[in-house]
Amino acid sequence: MIISDRLFNFVGSNQGSWKVLETKTIIGASLEVVTHLEILPGMIEPNCQWNLKGMVSNERYVTRSEKVELVVKQEALGRPTSLYGALIPIRKNPAWWALTQDERRQIFEESSNHIRIGLKFLPAIARKLHHCRDLEEHQPFDFLTWFEFSKADSGAFDDLLAALRASPEWKFIDREVEIRVEKMEKY
Ligand code: HEM
C-alpha cells in the first residue's frame, strides 16, 4: 500500500468543508452530482459517491524563467479570503499521450500560452495540480486541478477558463468536469 503525503482524495458526498454550488460537464462523461466536497490526504476509502485520487508531482513543462515569475506572483491555498473554489478533473486523449515531451511542451506553451495566460490571473487565483496517471489503482481522470479565490475574483476565474478552453491544448481534452464550491462557514 502506498502511504504518501503527496496523495490527496477529492471526496464527493453529502458532507465536507466545501458546499457544491454547480457541477458542469464540459466534455465527456459527467460525474454524479454531490452536495459537498472534502479534500483529504493519504490512502483512504471513505464512504462517498466518488473519491478522485491524485498525487502532487514534479513539474514537467515549466522553464526556469517561467518558474521564477510564477513563484514571485503566486499565493498559497488556504487564504482567509479564498471562500470560493473549483475542482476541475481533466483527462487528455491518447493522441496527447502519444506525443513526445517536447511536442507536448510546444502545444502547452508555445501554441496555447497556458502559463502566459495563467500568470495574468495571479495572485487572485491560487492553484494546485495533482497527477493521476501513475497511481496503482486506475483513475477516471489524468489530472485533478484545484483552485481557490475570493467571491470578487469568481468572474476573473470564468475569464481564465474561457481563455484556456479556447486554446489548442484543450483540443486534446476528452473529459472535463467543473465543480464550483463555496467554503462552509463552520470550517
Ligand atoms: C491560475 C492560473 C494558472 C496558472 C498560473 C497555471 C500554470 C500551470 C503550470 C505552470 C503548469 C505546468 C506544470 C508543469 O511544469 O508540469 C500547469 C499545468 C496544468 N494546468 Fe494550469 N495554470 C493555471 C490555470 C489552470 C486552469 C484554470 C486549469 C483547468 C481548467 C489548468 C489545468 C492544468 C492542467 C490539466 C495541467 C497539466 C497539463 C499537463 O501536464 O498536460 N490550469 N498549469
- The pair phi, psi for residue 180, each rounded to 5°, is -95, 135
CA–CA dist 145, 104 (Å, integer): 18
Measured CA to CA, the distance from residue 36 to residue 18 in angstroms comes to: 6
Ligand 1 centroid to Cα of residue 143, in Å, is 10
User: Cα–Cα distance between 7 and 97 in angstroms, integer?
Assistant: 22
pLDDT at residue 4, rounded to an integer: 77
Q: What is the pLDDT of residue 56?
A: 97
Cα of 115 from ligand 1 centre, angstroms: 7
Q: What is the pLDDT of residue 187?
A: 52
Protein residue with least CA distance to atom 26, ligand 1: 161
In testing the pocket of ligand 1, which one of 69, 92, 122, 127 has its CB within 8 Å of the most ligand atoms? 127
How much distance in Å is there from the Cα of 145 to the middle of ligand 1?
8
Q: Where are the alpha helices (DSSP H) in the chain?
A: 64-73, 94-98, 101-105, 114-119, 154-165
State pLDDT tens for residues 39-87. Answer: 999 999 999 999 999 999 999 999 999 999 999 999 999 999 999 999 9
Pairing outcome for strands 18-27 and 50-55: unpaired
Residue with the three cell numbers 478533473: 89
Kindly give the distance from the C-alpha atom of residue 129 to the centroid of ligand 1, in angstroms, as a whole number. 7
Regions in the chain scoring below 70 on pLDDT: 1-3, 186-187
**CA-closest residue to ligand 1 atom 18:** 129
Q: Please give the pLDDT value at position 185.
A: 81
109-145 exposure pattern, b = at least 16 Cβ within 10 A, e = fewer = beebbbbebbeebeebbbbeebbbeeeeeebebbbbb
Distance between Cα 164 and ligand 1 center (Å): 9
* Distance in angstroms (rounded) separating the CA atoms of residues 183 and 16: 9
Say how many C-beta atoms besides its own lie within 10 A of residue 166's C-beta. 11
Going from the C-alpha of 11 to that of each of 51, 133, 154, the distances in angstroms are 4, 18, 23
Ligand 1 atom at minimal distance to the Cα of residue 169: 41
Q: Using the mean position of ligand 1's atoms as its centre, give its distance from the Cα of residue 173 in Å.
A: 13
Our CA angle for 10, 12, 18, nearest 5°, is 80
| CA 134 to chain CA centroid, nearest Å | 17
pLDDT computed for residue 141 by the predictor: 98
Query: Is the CB of 20 inside a 6 Å radius of any atom of ligand 1?
Result: no
Q: Looking at ligand 1, which residue's alpha carbon is closest to its atom 8?
A: 115
